[in-house]
Amino acid sequence: MALKKKARSRFIRYLGKQFRDDSTILQLYSRDMAELPSLTKILYKNIPDAVILPRNTEDIQKIYQIANENNVSITPRSGGTAGFGGAITYKKGIVVDCKGIESELYIDPLEQTVTASPSIIFSDLQRQLKQQGFSLCAFPSSYYSATIGGWIAHGGFGVGSSQYGGALDQIVNLEVVLPNGELKIYDKSEDLALFVGSHGTLGILTKISLKIKFDIPLKQWGCTFDSPRELEDGLAELSKINPYSIWFFNPSHISKFNDTFGYSLPYRYVVIISKEISFEEEESEFYTMFNQAIRKAGGQILDKRYITNIWDHRFKTFSMLKEYDDFLVSELILPIKTSNKYLQKLNVKYKNGIHFEGELISDTHYSLLLFLPLDEKISSIKRTFLYLRLFKYTIKGIKFGGYPYSTGMFFAGYYSKIYGKEQYHKYKEFKKQVDSKNISNPGKVISPRLNLFPLISMKAAIKILSRLIP
């Protein structure tokens, strides 16, 4: 249903040109990074009624006030680079594009923190930090388009997480406009944890302080493994030597990487390890440990020539995939110690036609980004079928001790699998307190009831449908 006339004119009166509802704009905001099959769109209403571009906290407070009075849903959005449906509407309403939220950037060299607007893009923030000799500790590989606010709300990890942890570990404090309009600052770890992975269901982040570190140069080494079993052993050994980042690919992905960027990496499981190195002695000490770890796991060390400048391509995965006519994406987190069985299952099912790229996010787990490239435009029915199968295999990770990367809309209902039951209860209690009308990003995190069949949850519907797919 379109926005009621009274609500629309209230928004326009207070927000003027920042309020947009022309059809071209609405289409632009109807998807995120994952273009889902059109058949699945009967489950949700992804074309919003309007888009608002607030400039500051006062605008956001006003938006929540009018939204509460008129029962309008608010869906925050920043870079739109996540692929879990968190930034698209479940039942229409207003998308609040946070990219214009203003805030001064402040670097505190003594405390080693940076305070910035949630809408700052990682590469922009990192550039400014580097000018002062500092660096972010960890950041996503969507570095050139993702924002710090979106990353926290999505519950991200990334490059550097194996040493410095995920989004939660980076935060010093958060300023948030809660759905009831209150402006609050949180700095206690248990409060911050509520906002990480909450997809804007608990309010809109308006200012963020993050930990930073000295900008220490990174050096890379490479190695290969012949099988998922060896890869698992290799990751387990490498995680013990405290790397800054461990990034790896399967052979299908290596082929595409070679074709796109002109490398000649071997058709095996390739791992690129990165370490902060300040002194020569540190480098040789690390190389010795690396060498021992690879030998123990049965891998082979790659000659340095194979990986020259490879770090420059660290953030180009999607430009590589754009070469395909179409592709489907999903992502999950797996424990290192059981993951080879999962990878073998994936290989059998997809006959090596699936690509994956992983990143170690702690000394026990890694994130696995799955891509299913499609060489031609296929029918909507076939695309839906393939998407459901990919969904099924993402969820299958749970049997191996894993879980979906994030909830958003498509994996709503899996919050307790990701963060545990206790955290889920805390989340629900807090949500009740601050958003009794459930206007802030409904349909996310907690699985919504289907618009068409209110007795069935979206989680159950997608699960049942995906089970029907062989």
Ligand X SMILES: Cc1cc2nc3c(=O)[nH]c(=O)nc-3n(C[C@H](O)[C@H](O)[C@H](O)COP(=O)(O)OP(=O)(O)OC[C@H]3O[C@@H](n4cnc5c(N)ncnc54)[C@H](O)[C@@H]3O)c2cc1C
Residues that bind ligand X (CB under 6 A): 32-33, 75-82, 86-87, 98, 118, 140-142, 146-147, 149-151, 153-154, 156-158, 199-200, 204-205, 317-318, 408, 441, 444
Cβ proximity to ligand X: between 186 and 318 the closer is 318
Q: How far is Cα 458 from Cα 410, in angstroms, rounded to an integer?
A: 8
Cβ proximity to ligand X: between 78 and 170 the closer is 78
The least CB distance from residue 411 to ligand X, in Å, is: 11
Cβ proximity to ligand X: between 81 and 126 the closer is 81
Helix (H, G, I), strand (E, B) or coil at 376: coil
The least CB distance from residue 468 to ligand X, in Å, is: 28
Beta-bridge partners for 214: 134
- CA angle 115/190/121 to nearest 5° reads 30
Cβ proximity to ligand X: between 230 and 330 the closer is 330
Cβ proximity to ligand X: between 32 and 230 the closer is 32
The least CB distance from residue 318 to ligand X, in Å, is: 4
Q: How far is Cα 399 from Cα 165, in angstroms, rounded to an integer?
A: 24
For the chain, report the end-to-end CA distance as a whole number of angstroms: 37
Q: How far is Cα 375 from Cα 370, in angstroms, rounded to an integer?
A: 16
Place of tokens 């909450």: 198
Cβ proximity to ligand X: between 118 and 299 the closer is 118
Q: How far is Cα 24 from Cα 41, in angstroms, rounded to an integer?
A: 19
CB neighbours of 169 closer than 8 A, spacing ≥ 6?
137, 138, 211
Cβ proximity to ligand X: between 149 and 299 the closer is 149
Cβ proximity to ligand X: between 299 and 358 the closer is 358
The least CB distance from residue 37 to ligand X, in Å, is: 19
Burial class (CB in 10 A: 0-12, 13-18, 19+), 234: buried
Contact 98, 154 (CB under 8 A): no
The least CB distance from residue 342 to ligand X, in Å, is: 20
The least CB distance from residue 6 to ligand X, in Å, is: 26
- Closest-by-Cβ residue to ligand X is 150
CB neighbours of 295 closer than 8 A, spacing ≥ 6?
none
Instruction: Give the pair of three-digit tokens for residue 6.
Output: 């009274």
CB neighbours of 34 closer than 8 A, spacing ≥ 6?
83, 84, 85, 328, 329, 410
Q: How far is Cα 236 from Cα 32, in angstroms, rounded to an integer?
A: 34
CB neighbours of 17 closer than 8 A, spacing ≥ 6?
none
- CA angle 5/8/10 to nearest 5° reads 110
Contact 415, 424 (CB under 8 A): yes
Cβ proximity to ligand X: between 58 and 111 the closer is 58
Cβ proximity to ligand X: between 76 and 373 the closer is 76
The least CB distance from residue 168 to ligand X, in Å, is: 12
Cβ proximity to ligand X: between 37 and 200 the closer is 200
Q: How far is Cα 385 from Cα 249, in angstroms, rounded to an integer?
A: 25
Torsion angle of alpha carbons 85, 429, 66, 448, nearest 10°? 40
Instruction: Give the pair of three-digit tokens for residue 84.
Output: 């879990």
What would the DSSP string read from start to end of 60-108?
HHHHHHHHHHHT--EEEESS---SSSTTS-SB--EEEEGGG-----EEE
Q: How far is Cα 11 from Cα 37, in angstroms, rounded to an integer?
A: 32
The least CB distance from residue 224 to ligand X, in Å, is: 22
Cβ proximity to ligand X: between 32 and 237 the closer is 32
The least CB distance from residue 408 to ligand X, in Å, is: 6
The least CB distance from residue 156 to ligand X, in Å, is: 2
The least CB distance from residue 147 to ligand X, in Å, is: 4
Torsion-angle region of residue 200: left (phi > 0), alpha (psi -120 to 50) or beta? Answer: left
The least CB distance from residue 339 to ligand X, in Å, is: 18
